[in-house]
């Protein structure tokens, strides 16, 4: 017989877990006590705030492709992870969160550090379960990993009561492989495949828009084969970035509000739009009623509730992206669309001249965010894992990073959680110690989870932090400039001296203000694998362009504050 706490660790080991992110507290102490006996099998990363634990686990999961594990105490420990649980739900990230809970007899009595974790997390988790007896531990852990990692991944919360932690059980672990009420991967219907093939074979101006579903399904190669055979240009959502290498000839860049001109404009011109593993977020569609209204839409998604949710579809294919793409590639005719594909280059040229060039090769004036991101891609040759926070830093990182391999871009997409970046980068580096991990973060976001510098210090996590410092909450400032009559309400920020903060945590610090120092500073930044902070003082009132203003169609694009895109 072993305790429920030991059963938890044994079950985690059985699930292949070797790293967890957590923070101890009163109602999880038996679990932490038992951890002492698992030091040879489990690396526990002690964070500085529970929100840091879950974002780190998210970063870890997204680089590694297996669930990240979080262990926190009851009450405030549990409520502190809630933002991350919601973020993981929106962005389909597999995480298993274990929260301590008061003894079953004390449940519902407002006991010290009691919170209704099951009630709080039900709407924002894929599944949750309160473990009330040690006998349930192995079953609950197996089920949690199965649910978190299969189908459309997501967060699972196990609320571990104190008596279950200290109770005794005969441990027997069996992985979960079936739940009758849960169908993680629907089989695509033959009819939908046939209809899709017919549409693809007849298409003259096909366009693919793909999302994170490609990465989650490990379908990067299958997507490439599909695009090549059909000669189909493709645009990526924010979370789809890096699933195609940036230099793949049919790759047209990012779609959406701050996406590239070509795929956004062509969304309004294509005759068949194939959406794969994406969910038509409003930041992708702009005004829904005019989005791709001329096109026949094929939507492939593993989550059938996404099909038809936002955009009416001609054909909905329920299934795993990789498997569906393999079938379609096999059955469809090889095609060539030279004129259609060439049309993208014309849009790209306009964007290059009006937006990209001035952003990454401004020549004079203050440093711009885009040229910093471009410089990082240059130094790392597109091989780094790029992590972003939320805001202008995120959009600039997304727009100007180049990727040589998949699973190289991590960002809080759906929820847009400021403070996500720093802990997520820590988790990413722990998941992929051999790869450079570069965080782009603003001076707003870095201060939301700045305490995780402590985690970097203690674990010596070699994260490269590029602080795009403009002394503003830049994204909100941009909206205030463009849509709120330049009334800058609460967006000006007085910054601390980051050199002192970095020094306090033993993190190497360097500031860059002049263009001529940038390349060398970036060289130095990536010259080793030690934690480092590069504080880049960028143009204060820089805006992210192009931009589809809110309430506009996705092909109504501002190239600058006062210039609309016009077809050439």
List contacts with another protein (CB under 8 A): 118-119, 122-123, 126-128, 130, 147, 177-182, 303-305, 309
d(CA 167, CA 550): 55
Residue showing tokens 């509730």:
305
CB of 96 vs another protein, minimal distance in Å: 14
Between residues 179 and 198, which has the closer beta carbon with respect to another protein?
A: 179
Q: Which pair of structure tokens corresponds to residue 151?
A: 């189908």
Provide the minimum distance between the beta carbon of 369 and another protein in the complex, in angstroms, as a whole number: 36
**Closest distance between another protein and the C-beta of residue 118, in Å?**
6
- DSSP H or E segment with residue 157: strand 155-161
Q: 237 φ, ψ to 5°?
A: -75, 175
Q: Nearer Cβ to another protein, position 205 or 299?
A: 299
For the CB of residue 130, give the shortest distance to another protein in the complex, in Å.
8
User: Looking at beta carbons only, is 309 or 515 nearer to another protein?
Assistant: 309
Minimum CB separation of residue 155 from another protein in Å reads 12
- In the bound complex, what is the minimum distance in angstroms from residue 229's beta carbon to another protein? 32
Question: 497-501 — which CB contacts under 8 Å span 24+ positions?
Answer: 498/467, 498/469, 498/533, 498/535, 499/535, 501/450, 501/453
Structure tokens at 216: 């989650």
> Which is closer to another protein, CB of 182 or CB of 488?
182
Nearest distance from C-beta of residue 181 to another protein, angstroms: 4
Query: Residues for the chain: how many in total?
Result: 568
CB 539 within 8 A of CB 367: yes
Nearer to another protein, 173 or 248 (CB): 173
- Give the C-alpha separation, 261 to 81, whole Å: 37
Strands 168-169 and 2-3: antiparallel
CB closer to another protein, 127 vs 565: 127
Task: Say how many C-beta atoms besides its own lie within 10 A of residue 334's C-beta.
Answer: 9
Cα separation, 562 vs 258, in Å, equals 16
Residues 504/454, Cβ–Cβ less than 8 Å = no
Closer Cβ to another protein, 181 or 490, answer by number: 181
């Amino acid at each position: 017989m072993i305790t429920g706490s030991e059963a938890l660790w044994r079950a985690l080991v059985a699930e292949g877990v070797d790293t967890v992110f957590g923070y101890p507290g009163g109602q999880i102490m038996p679990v932490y006590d038992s951890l002492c006996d698992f030091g040879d099998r489990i690396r526990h990363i002690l964070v500085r705030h529970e929100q840091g634990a879950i974002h780190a686990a998210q970063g870890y999961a997204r680089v590694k492709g297996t669930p990240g594990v979080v262990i926190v105490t009851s009450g405030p420990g549990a409520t502190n992870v809630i933002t991350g649980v919601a973020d993981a739900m929106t962005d389909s990230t597999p995480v298993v969160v274990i929260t301590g809970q008061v003894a079953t007899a004390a449940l519902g009595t407002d006991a010290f550090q009691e919170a209704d974790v099951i009630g709080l997390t039900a709407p924002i988790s894929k599944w949750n379960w309160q473990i009330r007896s040690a006998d349930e531990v192995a079953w609950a852990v197996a089920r949690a990993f199965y649910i978190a990692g299969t189908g459309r991944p997501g967060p699972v919360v196990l609320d571990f009561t104190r008596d279950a932690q200290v109770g005794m059980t005969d441990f027997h672990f069996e992985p979960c492989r079936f739940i009758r009420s849960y169908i993680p991967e629907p089989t695509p219907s033959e009819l939908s495949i046939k209809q899709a093939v017919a549409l693809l074979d007849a298409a003259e101006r096909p366009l693919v828009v793909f999302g994170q579903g490609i990465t989650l399904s490990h379908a990067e190669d299958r997507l490439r084969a599909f695009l090549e055979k059909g000669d189909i240009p493709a645009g990526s959502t924010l979370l789809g970035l890096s699933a195609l290498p940036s230099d793949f000839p049919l790759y047209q860049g990012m779609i959406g509000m701050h996406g590239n001109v070509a795929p956004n404009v062509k969304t309004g011109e294509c005759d068949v739009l194939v959406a794969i593993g994406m969910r038509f977020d409003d930041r992708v569609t702009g005004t829904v009623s005019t989005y791709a209204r001329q096109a026949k839409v094929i939507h492939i998604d593993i989550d059938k509730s996404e099909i038809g949710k936002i955009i009416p579809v001609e054909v909905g294919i329920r299934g795993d992206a990789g498997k569906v793409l393999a079938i379609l590639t096999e059955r469809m005719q090889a095609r060539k669309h030279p004129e259609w594909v060439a049309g993208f280059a014309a849009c790209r040229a306009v964007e290059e001249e009006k937006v990209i060039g001035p952003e990454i090769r401004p020549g004079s004036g203050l440093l711009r965010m885009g040229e910093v991101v471009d410089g990082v891609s240059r130094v790392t040759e597109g091989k780094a894992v790029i992590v972003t926070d939320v805001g202008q830093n995120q959009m600039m990182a997304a727009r100007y990073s180049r990727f040589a391999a998949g699973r190289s871009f991590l960002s809080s997409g759906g929820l847009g959680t400021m403070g996500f970046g720093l802990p997520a980068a820590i988790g990413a580096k722990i998941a992929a110690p051999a790869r450079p991990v570069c965080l782009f973060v603003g001076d707003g976001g870095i201060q939301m989870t700045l305490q995780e510098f402590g985690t970097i210090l203690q674990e010596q996590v070699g994260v490269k932090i590029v602080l795009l410092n403009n002394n503003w909450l830049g994204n909100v400032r941009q909206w205030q400039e463009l849509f709120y009559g330049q009334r800058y309400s609460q967006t000006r920020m007085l910054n601390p001296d980051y050199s002192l903060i970095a020094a306090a945590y033993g993190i190497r610090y360097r500031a860059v203000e002049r263009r001529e120092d940038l390349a060398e500073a970036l060289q130095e930044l990536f010259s080793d694998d030690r934690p480092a902070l590069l504080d880049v003082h960028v143009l204060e009132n820089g805006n992210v362009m192009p931009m589809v203003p809110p309430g506009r169609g996705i092909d109504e694009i501002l190239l600058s504050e006062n210039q609309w895109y016009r077809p050439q």
